[in-house]
Structure 1
Amino acid sequence: MPRDYSLSHLTTEGLRPPEMLEVAARTGYRYAGIRLLPAAPGGLAFPLMVDPALRRDTRAAMAATGVGIFDLDMVRLDARFRVEEYLAFFEVGAELGARVVLVAADDPDPGRLVASYAALCEAARPFGLACDLEFMPWTRVPDLATARCLVERAAQPNGGIIVDALHFDRSGGRPEQLVGLPRDWLHYAQLCDGPAARPTDEAELIRAARTERWLPGEGGIDLAGLWRRLPDDLPVSVEVPHQRRIAELGHERWAREALRASQRLIESL
């Protein structure tokens, strides 16, 4: 069975969802991910929850291209999290046929964080949405072990973990740690590359993750070791933001090169 590839929001950051879907179709992706809420205060997002015209245009682009929406970006769990504030987010996700909500964790209270994550999963489940926790070294869930503990404690049938190749490497992850991870926790994974040397400064970790990732195969991350331990049929989100190269090549050429590099790496395993 052919593997499904999804064009991540960050790989073509700046494009509105309809234009992103058109680029995804022309460059060979089956799915795309869209950012409905900012990753950080002031960050770029397209809140379709409050923009009916953009939502209508996005649905029209989906129908015209045949490209589906895979994931919704993102929900941040912090001390102020209130699950009732996300009803419209879930409704838009269901309307677009999305499968997964990307979740980040910023709450310093471990017990409250587990409760918030469980509440999010429970609220999203009627809309057909899984909630995949993304561990990132600068967040309150900095690594796979912490993410696994949180998902186990929440004990939700639509809970899960997303393995981002860059975050996995920068958090000190080892491919063998993925062995035995419950299959029903894995809904997709994010693929990119980066230098073998890991930044030690938090600001540099964040900057590189958001603006300067490398094409798969260009860097020093053990992508082969990582991908060999993930399910063969796991969908791949191609997440390769690189502001300078996107400016030089344009969104469409960069999206195409990112997909081809991802396919070459995975098909060589």
Structure 2
Amino acid sequence: MKTEFSLAHLTVLGCAPPEMIYIASLCGYDYVSIRPIYMKLPNEPNYDLAHNKAMMKHTKEAMRRTGMRIHDIELAKIDDTIDVEDYKAAIETGAELGAKSLLSSIWTEDKSMYIEKFHHLCELAKPYGMTVDLEFVTWAGVKNLKQAVEVLNSIDIDNKGLMIDTLHFNRSRVALEELDNLPPEWFNYVHLCDGPKEIPETKEGLIHTGRDERLYCGEGEINIADIIRRIPRPVVYSLELPHLKRVKELGYTEHARRCLVTAKEYLEKHNLENFCLK
């Protein structure tokens, strides 16, 4: 089974989906992971394809010309104020582009509410054949694997999933053993990147590395290999590796290329190409 890689939008966030697709094709990726849900973060471009018909048209044209596929769309954030019904247009757009998964994360402490909303999000995506993959984020409401597993165990629907990001896994201080005995069908893809040994003590420090300064695989101190070895089935590796300084120095295409080359070198070095635990 061929190991497949996706270029995550945060790695090249300044590129609109059509440009991102051409870059991914030039670099040798199998997929792109796009961000058509506008989150209104500081300095975040708006790639709302559901309402930008011209960009949607150019995205389809780029896919046709390159043969590039969309693996997943993001980010269906859950918090106290968001009505998940508002994500329906983005889900329909993602399905139209062939996306397999919808990424979600939880940013509230209200457990009963976020479990209900996550379940409803899965219901919205299910008719389109999409999984909804929950990512725990170190500075979010659901911030570790234990909390994410609790959410998934609380709902009875077969398109729920779990998305492991190696940076958040490390910085949430998750033990490797916590991955043991989780249902294989929960795993569809992972976010691969590296990071420094030191874990910031402040939210601001965590956010800075997460959004602005992740490292190439093998460049930092995260035990990526042992995390991958505990993933219970082959998954797509989505390379989420934003690094603003390197993008400024190298350009988006060269940065994206180095993300892929170093990931492949890391997997080969650790005998993890085509790795499957079971």
TM-score by length of 2: 0.94
Q: Distance in 1 between matches of 2:28 and 2:76?
A: 28
Which residue number in structure 2 is paired with residue 244 of structure 1? 245
Asked if structure 2 preserves the Cα contact closer than 8 Å seen for 1:175 and 1:225, the reply is yes
Q: For the Cα contact (< 8 Å) 2:184–2:233, is it kept in 1?
A: no
Paired letter, 1:33: S
Deviation for aligned residue 1:52: 0.8
CA separation in 2, counterparts of 1:11 and 1:69?
15
Q: Where do residues 59-208 of structure 1 align in structure 2 (5 Å cutoff)?
A: 59-208=60-209
Match of residue 268 from structure 2: 267
One-letter amino acid of the counterpart of residue 266, structure 1? L
Unaligned stretches of 5+ residues in structure 1: none
Q: Give the TM-score taking structure 1 as reference length.
A: 0.97
Q: Does 1:54 align with 2:55?
A: yes
Q: Which residue of 2 aligns with 1:34?
A: 34
Between the aligned partners of 2:123 and 2:266, the Cα distance in structure 1 is 36
1:171 partner letter: S
Q: 1:41 to 1:255 in 2, by over 3 A?
A: closer
Aligned twin of 1:45: 46
Correspondence for 1:4: 4
Q: 2:25 is paired with a residue of what secondary structure?
A: helix
After superposition, what is the alpha-carbon deviation per residue over 1:135-168, rounded to whole angstroms, capped at 9, x for unaligned?
Answer: 0111110100000000110222111110000000
**Which piece of structure 1 moves more, 221-230 or 237-246?**
221-230
Residue identity opposite 2:174 in structure 1: G
Query: Which residue of 1 is the match for residue 23 of structure 2?
Result: 23
1: CA distance, partners of 2:39 / 2:137? 12
**Matched-pair contact (CA < 8 Å) for 1:76–1:105:** yes
Letter in 2 for 1:217: G
- Structure 2 SS opposite 1:241: coil
Q: Which residue identity is paired with 1:103? A: S
- Secondary structure of the 2:33 match is strand
8 A Cα contact 1:240 1:258, kept in partner: yes
Q: Kindly report structure 1 stretches of 4+ aligned residues shifted beyond 3 Å.
A: 38-42
Counterpart residue type for residue 14 of structure 2: G
Q: Deviations over 1:72-102 (max 9, x none)?
A: 1101111123232222111101100001111
C-alpha spacing 1:251/1:130, structure 2 compared with 1 (3 Å): same
- Is the Cα contact below 8 Å between 2:30 and 2:68 reproduced in 1? yes
Three-state SS of the structure 2 residue aligned to 1:49 is coil
Deviations 1:32-81 (A, max 9, x none): 01111244534333000101111011011001101101111101111123
Q: Hey, what's the Cα distance between the residues in 2 that align with 1:14 and 1:150?
A: 33
1:253 offset after TM fit, Å? 0.8
* Alpha-carbon distance between aligned partners in 1 of 2:200 and 2:235, rounded to the nearest angstrom: 29
- 1:140-199, CA deviations, whole angstroms, 9 ceiling, x for partnerless residues? 101000000001102221111100000000000122221111111111000000001111
Identity of matched residues, %: 37
Q: Which one is further off, 190-199 or 84-93? A: 84-93
Superposed CA deviations along residues 183-242 of structure 1, whole A, max 9, x for unmatched, are 111110000000011111111101110010000000001111111112452110011110
The answer to whether the 8 A contact 1:93-1:127 is kept is: no
Q: Separation in 2 of the partners of 1:238 and 1:232?
A: 18
In the alignment of these two chains, the number of paired residues is 269
Q: Which residue of 2 aligns with 1:224?
A: 225
Rounded Cα–Cα distance in structure 1 between residues aligned with 2:163 and 2:266? 19
Alpha-carbon RMSD across the aligned residues, in angstroms, is 1.2
Match of 2:14 in 1: 14
Change (3 A) 1:39 1:194: farther
Unaligned runs of 5+ in 2: 272-278
Q: Does the CA contact (< 8 Å) of 1:227 and 1:266 recur in 2? A: no
CA distance in 2, matches of 1:27, 1:242: 17
